[in-house]
Structure 1
Amino acid sequence: MEIRLFREYLVLSRLLNFSRAAEQLGMTQPVLSRHLKYLEEQFDAKLLERNTHQVELTPVGKMLAEEAEKIVAQYEATFHVIREAIGKNKHSLSIMFLGAATREFFSDFLIQFRKHHEAVEINCCDSELDHVPEALERHDCDLAFIIRPDRQITDTRFKYLKLFSDPLCIAVHKNHPLAGRRDVSIVEVGNYPIIGVDKKQSPLAGECNSYFLEKSGIAYGPDIVSPNLATCCFNLELNEDAIVILPKHQKVHLGKNASLIEIEEKGCQFNLELIWDPRNRNPSLSKFTDELTSFLNEHPNFTNI
């Protein structure tokens, strides 16, 4: 049985949503359904219960998810051990970064890192926030940057290295009633239409929009849905009474008619973090994380947004 079938099943067992799982796996929903049916035929057991409202794992499905995780982990460990032994896994790192969130320091650090480790090949690609977790689990990348609300870690699959914090802000049109203010209360934000991403389609990005509002007892719609933050900021140009919620560093997306206002409450901030799968045995991982930590300690200006 191909290892990719277990990888696909693990994604589906966590998301319990065929369309989202298929999107993250880069395949169509009918193909994913066909692969699930193949697994059910091989084990002669029903793995998922589906109805019009939800998808749930059967008891056998839960058992397979646990065993599949062990199988995939052992496969990855064996793969890395053999590649290390033949010298093909020692000198490469694949990193997913988040555009504007890392632009201020990442290129400078990579220049320094390459000077010290010329034999390590670095492969970088920009990514949407919601694509990061599954890419790490599939080992499509070794490391990734994420930004999320400052709160306790809930996803224990990964290791996290906090790099710095970024204050929560809102953006408004220059003709908005709040324009010209230095700061506002999070409670005031609830009085205006919100332009944001759909939490169902982009859970992590949606949480960046909704967390602080919901923590303050304000329901998150949003009133105007956009596929990503850049589009939210563009739509602000066309909606003078609306608000966009964003980390301060993302002000690069704002147009000429927008104003940035900080949230006045303490604790309203995001953390920029480096994360990785602790089962990943790439020997260059620890070199990178250690040197990045030292680099940021030596260059505190990069941590001041």
Structure 2
Amino acid sequence: MSSPQRPSCPADLRQLQQFIVVAEELNFRRAASRLCMTQPPLSTAIKRLEEAVGTPLFQRNRSAVSLTPAGVVLLREARYLLRQAEVSFAEARAASAGAREILRVKSIDSAMLNLLPEWLERFCSTEKGIRLSLTTGSSQDVISAVEGGSIDLGVCVPGGASYPHLRTFPFGRERFCLAVHASHRFAGRAQVRLPELAGEHIVTHYPHAASPGYHAAVSVALQQTGAHVHVHQSETHLLATLGLVRLEVGLALIPDSMRRIGMDGVVYVEVVSEQGDAVTYPIVLAVRQSGASDAAVRFCEFVQRRTAAAGRS
């Protein structure tokens, strides 16, 4: 005799909210207080949720409550589902107010300073009614967010790994510049060639785990010095890197768009290869391979059409 089949959607949003509060408090009395309800119906609701999922979510004894491995997973997924529900409700309200779609974008910091806003401005001038949600993070943050579905469109530096769940589109190239202390011998120069960095102390940002593609681009550039450089690893945020430059810990290879960030004691100098060529790295757009939002796909196609037209002119 076959066991009864569980419903495909065993919990409503209220049950998930109750579960999240209990998981955060790990105390049914405090959780019930937060939820403005008494403890017995809360315990009953959690028991029904466990029955619907088919496994215990909490380990209980007289002195403590803790999450089971299944509970840990459900807590992560429940938070995501509630965030998505909030976004869905916001989109529905926006549609009622006349806005057609929301485009959620996460970008690396450098692209947010000029490249991305310029393209979004052009796109939104032709696509009336698009609402934008913008956030920033490292390339790995961007990729994870696109794969996880919390954003529609990512802007990042491609890494060496393949991402089978993503489609990527070229979005231009960013060039490097050099951030130096105002008293450094390079500060008055219009241009510095990479071999001249030999022997210098270099401050880097975004380690390999946070942005493997950007880390590789910096490594390739430093290899072009042709000699040893002293590399100092900073925090993952560019502002920390610039702070170390101001403190004369070293020089920094940074995205050229970051020139827009002014910091006392720090000046920016163009950096080129030994042959005098710009030193650059690629930036891409990323969307999900399946289930990508229409607005995200249209934006990628818009960029590709405009870029191709500019190349033919």
Q: TM-score range by the shorter chain?
A: 0.5 to 0.7
3-state DSSP class of the match of 1:222?
strand
Matches within 5 A, 1:169-180: 169-180=177-188
Aligned CA distance change for structure 1 residues 248 and 267 (closer, same or farther; 3 Å): closer
Deviation at 1:284, TM superposition (A): 2.7
Q: 1:146 aligns with which of 142, 146, 156?
A: 156
Which of the two has higher C-alpha Rg? 2
Q: Spell out, residue by residue over 1:61-82, the C-alpha distance to the aligned partner (whole angstroms, 9 max, x if none).
A: xxxxxxxxxxxxxxxxxxxxxx
Aligned CA distance change for structure 1 residues 283 and 190 (closer, same or farther; 3 Å): same
**Matched residue, 1:293:** 304
Aligned CA distance change for structure 1 residues 251 and 177 (closer, same or farther; 3 Å): same
Deviation at 1:97, TM superposition (A): 2.5
> CA RMSD for the aligned pairs?
4.4
**Matched residue, 1:56:** none
Pair 1:228 & 2:221 matched? no
Maintained 8 Å contact 1:210/1:220: no
Deviation at 1:159, TM superposition (A): 2.3
Aligned CA distance change for structure 1 residues 234 and 296 (closer, same or farther; 3 Å): farther
Distance in 1 (CA, whole Å) between partners of 2:134 and 2:178 is 30
Q: Spell out, residue by residue over 1:186-243, the C-alpha distance to the aligned partner (whole angstroms, 9 max, x if none).
A: 333241112123626634354454342257676776325233112111221110x621
TM-score between the two structures when normalised by the length of structure 1 = 0.58
Maintained 8 Å contact 2:167/2:288: yes
Pair 1:260 & 2:243 matched? no
**Matched residue, 1:269:** 280
The amino acid across from 2:294 in the alignment is P
Aligned CA distance change for structure 1 residues 203 and 221 (closer, same or farther; 3 Å): farther
TM-score between the two structures when normalised by the length of structure 2 = 0.57
The amino acid across from 1:161 in the alignment is F
Matches within 5 A, 1:123-134: 123-134=133-144
Q: Spell out, residue by residue over 1:59-117, the C-alpha distance to the aligned partner (whole angstroms, 9 max, x if none).
A: xxxxxxxxxxxxxxxxxxxxxxxxxxxx9xx8332111234423325334434433433
Q: 1:278 aligns with which of 289, 293, 313?
A: 289
3-state DSSP class of the match of 2:247?
coil
Maintained 8 Å contact 1:233/1:253: no
Maintained 8 Å contact 1:236/1:243: yes
Distance in 2 (CA, whole Å) between partners of 1:159 and 1:94 is 16
Q: Say which structure, 1 or 2, has more relative contact order (CA 8 Å, 6+ apart).
A: 1
Maintained 8 Å contact 1:165/1:269: yes
Distance in 2 (CA, whole Å) between partners of 1:183 and 1:108 is 27
3-state DSSP class of the match of 2:157?
strand
Aligned CA distance change for structure 1 residues 36 and 172 (closer, same or farther; 3 Å): farther
Deviation at 1:254, TM superposition (A): 4.6
Q: 1:247 aligns with which of 240, 255, 272?
A: 255
Maintained 8 Å contact 1:95/1:141: yes
Pair 1:192 & 2:223 matched? no
Distance in 2 (CA, whole Å) between partners of 1:170 and 1:36 is 50
Maintained 8 Å contact 2:172/2:284: yes
Maintained 8 Å contact 1:147/1:273: yes
Maintained 8 Å contact 1:195/1:243: yes
Maintained 8 Å contact 2:203/2:251: yes
Q: 1:182 aligns with which of 190, 194, 215?
A: 190
3-state DSSP class of the match of 2:271?
strand
Distance in 1 (CA, whole Å) between partners of 2:68 and 2:144 is 18
The amino acid across from 1:185 in the alignment is R
Counting matched residue pairs gives 228
Moved more, 160-169 or 242-251: 160-169
Distance in 1 (CA, whole Å) between partners of 2:69 and 2:226 is 43
Distance in 1 (CA, whole Å) between partners of 2:202 and 2:281 is 19
Aligned CA distance change for structure 1 residues 221 and 154 (closer, same or farther; 3 Å): farther
Maintained 8 Å contact 2:197/2:229: no
3-state DSSP class of the match of 1:291?
helix
Q: Spell out, residue by residue over 1:269-303, the C-alpha distance to the aligned partner (whole angstroms, 9 max, x if none).
A: 12222122212332333211111233456679xxx
Distance in 1 (CA, whole Å) between partners of 2:223 and 2:250 is 18
